[in-house]
Amino acid sequence: MVRELDGSILEGGGQLLRNATALAALTNRSIRVSKIRAGRRPPGLKPQHVAGSKLVAQICLAQLDGADKGSDELTFSPRNIRLGNYSADPGTAGSTTLLFQVSLPTLLFSTSPIPTISTLKLRGGTNAVQAPQIDYTENVFLPFLRQHFGILVELDIRKRGYWPKGGGEIRLSITSRQDPLPSFQLLERGEVTKIRGRSFAAGLPAALARTMAETARNHLIEAGIDESKIEITALREKEGTAVGSGSGIVLWAETENGCILGGNALGQKGKTPEAVGSEAADELVRNLSHGGCVDEYLQDQIIIFMALADGVSQILVGPLTLHTKTAIWVAEQLTEARFQVEEVDMNRVLLSCTGTGFRRIINHQAQAQGSPTWN
């Protein structure tokens, strides 16, 4: 039986499709997603979504229909996941981090007690708009997964790619596990112990990176952050290490209880470096101000892992974002996980999930020969 999903529900963007295909692959459930990105202009699949869907289909030997640019309906019928080496390239500046997001859950679990290392070679944009910058993934997302879920991923940034050229490349090594992900409780943020950051310019004057870093530092100090806790590196990308020109800054705060919260901004034509630095600092300060244990971006990215974990996970967060509500909706449609939301005060919510304790059970009837490789 094919499970029907309305792709225009709640946030109604590409995140819904990414989470749905990842969970369908893990649970071996056929899905049909309609009205994909119905509220976007233009609606339907972009090359990035096509590449992500094809990547997961390759990993789980799925039959995939409707995976074409502009398509507003996609049918995904998985068979059996094969761990191994995979690659994806949308041929645009589409985000490499979003390609990683859709494929990571499918490569986490093995039927063997001996861990398997799968590799991903992903091309496209590394620091793109409307997607996590690779520096955020490296310094916020991956450390959180490692600390609270025991997920082991090694990231190698081979070349940075900026809009509109793309051309960046990252490689990732993902260590599989046989046991379910552990549940966790993270209920107190604790004091900020360090704020780190990376301010960069590629194909542009180094002064831009320095100005963004200095402006961000000043804004953080004005917001009450101890200057001795701030460490922001400003640099100009070396020739050959990036494609295209771009600039931006990523900040992240570390706390005594293991929380990591971020803030970031990208440079754009007509936008001063002072404005970029201020934007990133203001975003981090806003995420710190609500007192939750994750920022607004990490909040929705951890939902799928909470749903897969064994037992009850609890985390104190800021106001629930529409992306988070969408991720919860998808998880409850495709798994037995159940979420509860309890308002603590005007700014904070206690988010609980009774996870599925997912283990991978091999589908022998769906096994197929060969495992994709790349050189």
Q: Say what the pLDDT of residue 363 is.
A: 58
Give Cα 348 distance to the centre of its chain: 22
Question: Which residues are the active-site residues?
Answer: 323
The answer for residues whose C-beta is within 8 angstroms of residue 44's C-beta and 6 or more apart is 36, 37, 69, 70, 71, 72
299 is in an annotated binding site: yes
Q: Which residues pair with 170 in a beta bridge?
A: 122, 157
297 is in an annotated binding site: yes
Q: Say what the pLDDT of residue 372 is.
A: 36
162 is in an annotated binding site: no
C-beta separation of 130 from 206 below 8 A: no
Write the DSSP string, 217-237.
HHHHHHTT--GGGEEEEEEEP
- Closest of 85, 301, 305, 27 to residue 180, by C-alpha: 305
Q: Say what the pLDDT of residue 165 is.
A: 86
CA dihedral sign of residues 298, 348, 147, 109:
negative
Convert the pLDDT of each residue in 4-15 to its tens digit: 999 999 999 999
101 is in an annotated binding site: yes
For residue 367, the tally of other CB atoms under 10 A from its CB is 11
Taking the C-alpha atoms of residue 299 and residue 277, their distance in angstroms, rounded to an integer, is 23
CA dihedral sign of residues 111, 113, 114, 115:
positive
300 is in an annotated binding site: yes
β-pairing, 246-255 with 63-65? unpaired
Q: Say what the pLDDT of residue 364 is.
A: 55
- Closest of 101, 102, 112 to residue 179, by C-alpha: 112
The C-alpha angle 95, 325, 140, rounded to 5 degrees, equals: 45
For residue 30, the tally of other CB atoms under 10 A from its CB is 14
48 is in an annotated binding site: no
Instruction: Tell me the one-letter amino acid at 214.
Output: E
Helix 47-59 with 96-103: angle, nearest 10 deg: 30
Instruction: Report long-range pairs for 57-60 (Cβ below 8 Å, ≥24 apart).
Output: 57/21, 58/86, 58/372, 59/25, 59/86, 59/103, 59/106, 59/107, 60/25, 60/106
Convert the pLDDT of each residue in 138-182 to its tens digit: 999 999 999 999 999 999 999 999 888 889 999 999 999 999 999
CATH superfamily of 192-289: RNA 3'-terminal phosphate cyclase, insert domain (3.30.360.20)
Taking the C-alpha atoms of residue 127 and residue 98, their distance in angstroms, rounded to an integer, is 11
- Closest of 213, 253, 247 to residue 229, by C-alpha: 253
Q: Say what the pLDDT of residue 164 is.
A: 83
pTM of the model: 0.94
Exposure string over 32-41, b if 16+ CB within 10 A, otherwise e: bbebbbeeee
Write the DSSP string, 14-67.
HHHHHHHHHHHHHHT--EEEESTTTTSSS-S--HHHHHHHHHHHHHTT-EEE--
C-beta separation of 64 from 97 below 8 A: no
How large a percentage of the chain has pLDDT more than 70?
Answer: 96
Residues of the chain with pLDDT under 70: 362-375
